[in-house]
Amino acid sequence: MVYQDTITINTSGNGDLHDLSDQVTSIVNKSGVKMGIASIFNVGSTAAISTIEFESGLKKDLPEMLNRLIPASREYGHEKAWHDGNGHSHLQATTLGPSLQIPVRNGNPVLGTWQQVIHIECDNKPRQRSIVVTVIGE
């Protein structure tokens, strides 16, 4: 069995985090899959999907860490080609990755107590994002 749905969110720009756990759980529940895999995929090259403990300290720490490791700069090849100020956004998103796979057991995503599914915006401007959730199993 395969089931697919889309989550749509609006972001405020670089560093904006959204907890997708409830929406992912709802989609998995609607799918009817009892045992399988849920794939969560961000459509676009300047945002990422991951897991984290979604609490105020880490919500601040993760974007700050990414901006320290891969800061905005006019020196990126992407910036020299496109002049859109988001070369760092592409690199940050690529570092974290666009997708995540979560096991499904007994009709629910298998997540730790302090583990939430998140979307992080890496682009330098607000965006409307589509996140495709595909549930595969039996």
Provide CB contacts within 8 A for 6, sequence distance 6+: 130, 131, 132, 133
If phi > 0 it is left, if psi is from -120 to 50 it is alpha, else beta; for residue 59 that is alpha
Which tokens is 43 given? 């459509």
- The DSSP secondary-structure symbol of 13 reads S
pLDDT value for 86: 95
Stated pTM of the model: 0.95
The CA-atom distances, in angstroms, between 19 and each of 51, 73, 115 are: 9, 28, 10
Query: Distance between CA 92 and CA 137 in Å, rounded?
Result: 32
Segments making up each domain of the chain, as ranges: 2-137
Provide block-wise average pLDDT over 10 residues at a time, the chain (138 residues).
98 98 98 98 98 98 98 92 94 98 98 98 98 99
Query: Distance between CA 26 and CA 18 in Å, rounded?
Result: 16
pLDDT value for 36: 98
Q: How many CB atoms lie within 10 A of CB 64?
A: 10
CATH superfamily of 2-137: YjbQ-like (2.60.120.460)
